[in-house]
A and B are shown apart, each in its own frame.
Chain A
């Protein structure tokens, strides 16, 4: 059994610097949920398969279950809690509600992170591009139809 060694790092999450002391092997999702106290990022598989733990790292969506917290030092992290515009929902969040793209809600934070990144790199995706863009996020409730519709509505403004 390896003896864990501690690291003192700073993580930049949703515009705030958080100094944290962690075991070197800790993954980013557990540090965000436990040390930083933001539980909107979910953990569904610890296997990089479900996408529930997605966060934006310098604008790129990553599965934070399979990313070392130490590697995120010095980079900009955005979680679901950092997506809103002040007190207002983003159009994507509103469209997900109005289109019916939310049921149990457990995949929703990761889905929003994924779709936000998709729309940032491709503001006018086709339905096919949306389907492929969101294929790293598993949803068991909706059949994806209304999620795709919400992202398309958001792109159409």
Chain B
């Protein structure tokens, strides 16, 4: 099958965004609207001994002050029901919400929140991942044996969730090795940092509530409101205005129910807008810190014989969507390599830190950084070039991966070839302060149900009404192209109607790189129904057989007679007085592969590799040996994400993912004080990469029509570019330093310390 040349088109929501006319949630106002503020725990672990809202209630302009006592008695959580809307008896991280206030201005609301009296009895802090797993460790959730859970979670110490992958005989594999290499790595947690701080507006009419919110997952947000406020889905409507980035940080159910509960008590619309500091401290979506041990057995010829891995991941105080992340982490420590004997286990550990959860390719950048640093150490131990070592051991078409899945056509080998070619690996000697590092990575495309409707109105203009959520990636924008191609129309003939749970069918949201992969299939199916209607109308018009009708260039004609055409608009006009042009689709996700791994919470994380994406990043850096400062000069990124529908959008995903990866490699890491509180919860202290830091980025797409992919062989793309960059930078640094920097981020201080050792 040949691959069509991808197109480059301007995104449909672009004009709203360059003129300032596009409305984001914080831009919305309603008559009589109040401002919300939260009172946070501010300590990482303590028992509430006094909670008194009397003084706050008495402040003029305050309309509502609510706590745990004012909402239904519901514990929730997607994997372990360990959470309540408001703290109940115990606070377990500094950003836990104790109370909420609605007042006539943000200033009065802030004053009232500060006037709430809360006193605590301090409880022992749990912050060290390995200590937390020891037998005598204090428990973050003393009574979690009684919490509900979706699966039979083993409630053992602070081990919130675990996963293991075991194949072959590791002891025999290690015994067969000529060398066994062992490494330990420690990664700090970090943040998604969308530039838009989140916002929520809630307004009640009778017993129905409409909530405008900056979420990546509107249907998940609705489910959370329904569960915690005990309402049917039919009475909760979630609308997402333009969304100012998410990167996973706006996945999950967040503050929609808090604001709705405030609005119900206050009998007014209420708006919550986060400060940047709150954006850092409160959400249960943070990239988890990790401790990672890897051991690999290798023969002198470079063949890997066995691997063991153990990792502990910082879950934080509550299990958000991180419940299944041990599976993803285990897949990344096993890696996209042919290894006959593997034993890897990953543990998600409760601590008194902010909860972790989806951040662009959750677990992958840290785990890939560790694995690929280790891979360079293994290659060096047997005296092999690290690129040649990867080509020898990486999985290829027809190979069996660590989860027992046999891969169809995949492009990891081509990715290695292309990325190293683009960066000129090994071609010319580099200056003494420069080096090139290479790393490979992989990432799944989650195969889940997803729906869309399409209608063509009487004038022939179309609307795609989709449950999919646009968070900036452009994936939803691409749906116009798919519909237009099915109907022989132009993308501009379609408007996108999305982000309203009462209008569109279900979609999982802007998460798991799944929008194009799943909703694309739904849109193609919906358009196919309309195409059939149009062919029938044209067949009647031409007195021909529907099977002979061709839809192209905005019209229909009988095959072989393209001169006589009838326009789609004319056919739509005919339909308007009869059977209306309405299509619906939900596509069919591909069947999941046979797996050998095991996990306490199902196998979603491994099954999602059904149509795996691959990448190779090759990075040239310069190191200032006096200061430890690393400058990234050039990044070559080769990606197998299947076929590319919109090249412009695809390039933007890779370039953005690479830049985020550079930040995670060099500057972005949460620093805690001795009390378990974040010390760098602001953009002054937590440094993102700026335009002045940006390197040359060269991208190559290895376009393969993957079996079990989405429409036209496309896979996801939004997360994959964020997997291998930090690892490639690490390998370049290690070449110049002479040893890996075993802490992430690889800050100038850490690089300098490694230089001294």
Contact = CB atoms under 8 A, between A and B. Distances in A.
B681 to A, nearest CB: 11
Interface in A93-136: 93, 96-98, 100, 102-109, 112, 130-132, 134-136
B688 A140 contact: yes
A49 B683 contact: yes
B471 A140 contact: no
A41 B21 CA distance: 10
Contact of A44 (B27, B196, B649): B196
A41 to B, nearest CB: 7
Interface residues of B, number: 56
A106 B194 contact: yes
B14 A102 contact: yes
Contact of A81 (B20, B24, B26, B246): B20
Contacts of B688: 138, 140
A105 B22 contact: yes
B195 interface: yes
A81 B651 CA distance: 29
A142 B11 CA distance: 14
B194 A100 contact: no
A157 interface: no
Nearest to B196: A106
B20 A80 contact: yes
Nearest to A48: B684
A100 B478 CA distance: 13
Contact of B658 (A38, A52, A140, A143): A143
Contacts of B20: 38-41, 79-81, 83, 109
Contacts of A131: 691-692, 694
Instruction: Name which of B194, B197, B684, B697 has the most chain A CB atoms within 10 A of its CB.
Output: B197
Nearest to B24: A106
Interface stretch (B237-245, B368-376, B707-715): B237-245
Contacts, number: 169
A140 B195 contact: yes
A79 B21 CA distance: 12
Given A44-B196, A80-B19, A105-B13, A140 B660 contact: yes
B659 interface: yes
B244 A93 contact: no
B474 to A, nearest CB: 7
B88 to A, nearest CB: 32
A27 interface: no
B16 A138 contact: no
B244 A143 contact: no
Contact of A106 (B15, B195, B660): B195
Given A138-B195, A140-B656, A141-B472, A106 B14 contact: no
Contacts of A79: 20
Interface in A40-78: 40-47, 49-50, 52
Contact of A141 (B245, B276, B690): B245
B18 A93 contact: yes
A104 B244 contact: yes
A141 B14 contact: no
A97 B18 CA distance: 8
Given A81-B19, A140-B656, A39 B27 contact: yes
A42 B196 contact: yes
A44 B195 contact: yes
A1 B193 CA distance: 32
Contacts of B21: 40, 81
A83 to B, nearest CB: 8
A102 B659 contact: no
B17 interface: yes
B75 interface: no
B330 to A, nearest CB: 29
A141 B19 contact: no
Interface of B: 8, 10-11, 13-24, 26-27, 111, 193-197, 242-247, 275-276, 471-474, 648-649, 651-652, 654-660, 682-684, 688, 690-694, 697
Closest 4 CB pairs of A and B: A40-B20, A104-B472, A105-B17, A106-B244
19 contacts: A39-B20, A39-B23, A42-B195, A46-B275, A80-B20, A81-B20, A93-B19, A97-B10, A97-B15, A103-B652, A106-B244, A108-B18, A112-B18, A135-B691, A140-B245, A140-B688, A144-B655, A145-B694, A147-B691
Given A108-B18, A146-B652, 13 more contacts: A42-B24, A45-B683, A46-B276, A79-B20, A80-B20, A97-B11, A102-B11, A106-B196, A131-B692, A132-B691, A140-B656, A142-B656, A145-B697
